[in-house]
């Protein structure tokens, strides 16, 4: 030990730290370097900082303070950092600020290197989602329905006050045209209360009414302004957490109290190939159905193409998703609701619209008694996601006296059914794909491919809760995680 040792002598062959070093050295990080303006005191090199963070996430070290400690005492971190010792503030600033807006490009470059090395080809992917709890207080929440109720209560009480004022001082309010209280805002409420107060100024008014007007004048306008800001912040969601406004309340599988408690979280969607994460996306919607299209659009934006084949479970089976996949010419092995039930149950309900015989040439259905149900009209309907559906309506000619009527339907008139022909066609196509030899193969592989990654993430890496707050920082953490997992698998 008379001479200083070479740290490389302490690094085992084929150790993941070597793979991380080699891969990140090959990455194009010009976008990250461009975030450094230059001048002032010298900065730690962003490539070194990225290596340290990725290796930290690979070893389940997510805290900047713990990273600061291991950089000073762990030989692998010392080798990666070149004996540099950034403190926890520097590490945290790099992760939260420097990686913002560029980490997606870094992840994409890692995936492209995996393609180049022959590990994956992006042609076949398996997609699934999981909910990860946000770093937020689960008891500080804002609900969209609560805002609606509060605004409605203010409107009703203001209307009652106006009616009371009209009954006491109708002459004084005749000249005021502002009596339409269907739509209210802070300014309108304030003006209306001022009008009521002016009209009741010289009148004998119940003491409780005066107190209520005083309370309304002090609180209602500012409350309405607060509700407007909350609705704007909430957007199309139904809730958010006050400590992390980007987090939405969702039901988590990790429910130890078994009471269906809602927790603030994010819906993480990933696509994998051979257990490599090839794409990820963060969503505020708790249901997987609405996430598939934006997830695949993000895939196309990153790689300028879509996969040839995608396999997903029943949570993604909707007319909108099937239509998108068909239009983009992606071979889809995506289950729909009741797919498994159809395979297990041999008995079918003979009165269900799907069980009725359809004559395509005459465009009519036949009920179990053989009576034709003729086409009447087409109506349009919108799904919760805003997708436009076309429903064809058919009606039987005469149900009176039918011996099967009590089993068939309970409506007063003739039976009417609504049929979505496009959805039926897409479901039949999906069923044929799923039951094909290729479909069975992909269905068997899907849980071994994508769900294994989630199991590794939550159980082995103990990552069940984000450590940073906000969409942008949550994306940074997710990218660091999946980059680390990909490089760990690459190292074998």
Q: Per-residue pLDDT tens for 65-106?
A: 999 999 999 999 999 999 999 999 999 999 999 999 999 999
pLDDT tens profile 143-189: 999 999 999 999 999 988 888 888 877 776 666 555 567 788 888 88
Domain closes at, from 35, 67, 99: 99
**Average pLDDT for residues 133-137, to the nearest whole number?**
93
Least confident stretch, 315-324, 339-348, 385-394: 339-348
Kindly state whether residues 172 and 26 are assigned to the same domain: no
Say what the pLDDT of residue 61 is: 95
The more confidently predicted of residues 128 and 384 is: 128
The three-state DSSP-derived secondary structure of 234-292 is HCCCCEEECCCCCCEEEECCCCCCCCCCEEEEEEEEEEEECCEEEEEEEECCCCCHHHH
- 483 within domain boundaries: no
Helices 471-491 & 16-26, crossing angle to 10 degrees? 120
- 236 within domain boundaries: yes
Please name the residue that has the structure tokens 């999946």: 482
Kindly state whether residues 437 and 306 are assigned to the same domain: yes
Kind and range of the H or E run holding 312: strand 309-312
In which band, very low, low, confident or very high, does the pLDDT at 258 lie, cut at 50, 70 and 90? low
- 124 within domain boundaries: no
Kindly state whether residues 178 and 320 are assigned to the same domain: no
In which band, very low, low, confident or very high, does the pLDDT at 58 lie, cut at 50, 70 and 90? very high
The three-state secondary structure class of 393 is strand
Residue 9 pLDDT > 60: yes
Kindly state whether residues 333 and 443 are assigned to the same domain: yes
* DSSP bridge pairs for 264: 249
Say what the pLDDT of residue 358 is: 92
Distance CA 457, CA 471 (A): 19
- 292 within domain boundaries: yes
Kindly state whether residues 272 and 320 are assigned to the same domain: yes
Q: What is the CA radius of gyration of the chain?
A: 31
For the entire predicted model, the pTM comes to: 0.88
Supply the CATH number for residue 335's domain: 3.30.420
Say what the pLDDT of residue 259 is: 64
If you average pLDDT over every residue of the chain, what do you get?
90
- 126 within domain boundaries: no
Kindly state whether residues 85 and 47 are assigned to the same domain: yes
Structural domain range at position 332: 248-342+430-472
Say what the pLDDT of residue 454 is: 95
**Average pLDDT for residues 414-440, to the nearest whole number?**
93
Say what the pLDDT of residue 323 is: 95
Kindly state whether residues 85 and 218 are assigned to the same domain: no
Residue 245 pLDDT > 60: yes
**Average pLDDT for residues 289-303, to the nearest whole number?**
95
Q: Which backbone phi and psi does 270 adopt, to 5 degrees? A: -135, 155
- 60 within domain boundaries: yes
Residues 6+ apart with CB under 8 A from 19: 487, 490, 491
- The b/e string for 169-206 (b: 16+ C-beta within 10 A; e otherwise) is beebbeebeeeebeebebebbbebbebbbebbeeeebe
Distance CA 375, CA 307 (A): 40
Kindly state whether residues 186 and 312 are assigned to the same domain: no
The three-state DSSP-derived secondary structure of 105-149 is HHHHHHHHHHHHCCCCCCCEEEEEEEEEECCCCCCCEEEHHHHHH
- 488 within domain boundaries: no
Domain closes at, from 213, 240, 267: 240
Kindly state whether residues 384 and 454 are assigned to the same domain: no
Kindly state whether residues 171 and 232 are assigned to the same domain: yes
Say what the pLDDT of residue 304 is: 94
Say what the pLDDT of residue 260 is: 66
Residues 6+ apart with CB under 8 A from 409: 351, 399, 415
- 482 within domain boundaries: no
Least confident stretch, 12-21, 62-71, 200-209, 298-307: 200-209
Kindly state whether residues 329 and 392 are assigned to the same domain: no
Find which of 161-170, 194-203, 479-488 is predicted with most confidence, using mean pLDDT: 479-488
Distance CA 267, CA 247 (A): 9
Domain closes at, from 240, 258, 274: 240
Kindly state whether residues 298 and 408 are assigned to the same domain: no
**Average pLDDT for residues 215-229, to the nearest whole number?**
93
pLDDT tens profile 390-416: 999 999 988 888 888 888 888 888 999
Give burial (CB, 10 Å; 0-12/13-18/19+) of 480.
Answer: buried
pLDDT tens profile 37-54: 877 777 899 999 999 999
Distance CA 104, CA 376 (A): 52
What is the domain count for the chain?
4
In which band, very low, low, confident or very high, does the pLDDT at 11 lie, cut at 50, 70 and 90? confident
């Amino acid at each position: 030990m008379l001479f200083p040792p070479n740290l490389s002598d302490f690094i085992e062959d084929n150790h993941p730290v070597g793979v991380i070093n080699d891969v990140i050295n090959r990455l194009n990080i010009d976008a990250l370097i461009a975030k450094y303006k230059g001048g002032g005191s010298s900065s730690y090199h962003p490539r070194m900082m990225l290596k340290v963070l990725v290796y930290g996430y690979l070893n389940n070290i997510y805290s900047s303070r713990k990273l600061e400690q291991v950089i000073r005492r762990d030989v692998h971190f010392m080798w990666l950092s070149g004996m540099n010792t950034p403190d926890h503030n520097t590490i945290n600033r790099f992760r939260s600020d420097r990686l913002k807006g560029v980490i997606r490009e870094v992840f994409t470059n890692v995936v492209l290197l995996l393609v180049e090395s022959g590990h994956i080809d992006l042609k076949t992917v398996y997609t699934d989602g999981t909910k990860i709890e946000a770093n937020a207080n689960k008891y500080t929440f804002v609900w969209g329905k609560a805002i609606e109720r509060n605004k409605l209560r203010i409107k009703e009480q203001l209307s009652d006050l106006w009616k009371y004022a009209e009954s006491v001082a109708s002459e004084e309010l005749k000249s005021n045209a502002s009596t339409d209280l269907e739509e209210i805002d802070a300014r309108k409420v304030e003006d209306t209360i001022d009008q009521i107060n002016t009209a009741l100024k010289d009148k004998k008014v119940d003491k409780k009414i005066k107190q209520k007007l005083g309370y309304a004048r002090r609180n209602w306008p500012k409350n309405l302004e607060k509700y407007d800001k909350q609705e704007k912040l909430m957007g199309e969601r139904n809730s958010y957490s006050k400590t992390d406004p980007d987090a939405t309340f969702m039901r988590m599988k990790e429910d130890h109290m078994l009471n269906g408690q809602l927790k603030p979280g994010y819906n993480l969607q990933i696509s994998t190939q051979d257990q490599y994460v090839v794409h990820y996306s963060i969503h505020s919607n708790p249901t997987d159905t609405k996430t598939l299209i934006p997830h695949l659009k993000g895939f196309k934006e990153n790689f300028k193409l879509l996969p040839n084949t995608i396999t997903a479970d029943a949570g993604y089976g909707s007319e909108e998703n099937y239509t998108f996949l068909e239009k983009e010419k992606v071979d889809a092995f995506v289950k729909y609701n009741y797919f498994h039930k159809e395979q297990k149950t041999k008995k079918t309900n003979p009165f269900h619209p799907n069980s009725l015989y359809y004559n395509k040439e005459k465009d009519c259905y036949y009920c179990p008694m053989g009576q034709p149900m003729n086409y009447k009209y087409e109506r349009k309907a919108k799904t919760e996601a805003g997708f436009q559906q076309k429903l064809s309506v058919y009606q039987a000619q005469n149900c009176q006296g039918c011996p099967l009527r009590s089993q068939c339907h309970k409506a007063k008139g003739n039976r009417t059914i609504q049929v979505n022909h496009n959805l039926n066609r897409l479901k039949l196509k999906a069923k044929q794909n799923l039951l094909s030899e290729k479909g069975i193969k992909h269905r068997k592989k899907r849980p071994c491919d994508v769900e294994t990654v989630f199991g590794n993430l939550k159980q082995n890496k103990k990552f069940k809760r984000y450590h940073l707050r906000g969409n942008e920082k949550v994306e940074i953490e997710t990218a660091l995680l999946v980059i680390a997992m990909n490089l760990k698998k690459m190292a074998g």
